[in-house]
Amino acid sequence: MRHTDGPRDVWSVYRDPLGTVEGFTLTWVHSNLLTLRQQERRHRNIALATAALTTLRERIVGPRSRVRGAARIDLEIEQILEQHRVRRYFKVKRVPRPEHTFKQTQRGRPGPDTEYRRVTKRRYDIEWTIDQAAIDYDKRSDGMYPLICNDRNLTPAQVLEAHKGQPMIEKRFEQLKTVHEIAPVFLKNTGRIEAFFTLYFFALLIQALIERQLRLEMQRQKIAELPIYPEQRRCKHPTTEQILRLFSLAERHTLLRKEKQVQVFAPELTGIQHQTLELLGVPEAVFSG
């Protein structure tokens, strides 16, 4: 997360002159803030894994330990390394350590002539080291990632700028899956599937236009927030889902007598509903007519 008083993010781009095997352009991107985040995440994960392994070792070597089997110990080690994503950086080994106890060969109170026999049980301990070479190897690529593009006319800087618009595109895909619930699709005919997705494309387009109109008008009128969330909580960036939810309870009633219309009761809009319609440029008469 970037803080206002933190370092500036400096981006660097480089186009590989060879490109990919498929013939696409290959642009390498480097960000200094991404470098810092990846290094901090690596250090945190190593510290958490070290603490977890220390706790596991205490459980293993404790006098009342229930973690004694080799398979159980190996499983817990594997879970720790997998959970903290540090498998490359840790070398953990299970070490057998003999534990000796002495018992009387015969029953009775021990005396000067009592004979004892030694009983040896094998218990386990764990030891680990951190592979600094693997850490140094990964540090060389911190903050870097490749971008593949099929448009050869774009400069490396333009490729990066286009890539930064990806969150907006991904947001629309997320809305398709959640708000519109487009999946699963049970159609099998190719033409029907294309028509189905075309309709949802138009729905997304209308959704984006509604949000664009409302947000631009809010910006023009210098309105920072609208109380359109449940419980009238304020929203800085209204979405179409919240706008439609705002009008979901508005009802229009028609009074009939012998199948003839007697009177129409228009929906009674709230203040925030009036304001939203005004920002959207929708006349109230059109909405309630």
Token pair for residue 70?
A: 């080799």
Mind listing the pLDDT tens digit for each residue in 172-210? 778 788 878 887 888 889 999 999 989 988 988 898 899
Tell me the per-residue pLDDT of 16-40, one tens digit each, with 9 for 90 and over: 998 898 889 999 999 999 999 999 9
Q: pTM of the entire structure?
A: 0.60
Residues of the chain with pLDDT under 50: 1
| CA-based torsion, 45, 46, 51, 53: positive or negative | positive
Within its chain, how far is the Cα of 171 from the centroid?
A: 13
> Of 33, 30, 40, which is closest to residue 9 (Cα–Cα)?
33
Domains of the chain, by residue range, sit at: 1-155, 165-289
Tell me which residue of 145, 138, 129, 133 sits closest to 39, measured CA to CA: 138
Residues 6+ apart with CB under 8 A from 13: 27, 28, 29, 30, 156, 157, 159, 160
pLDDT at 1: 47
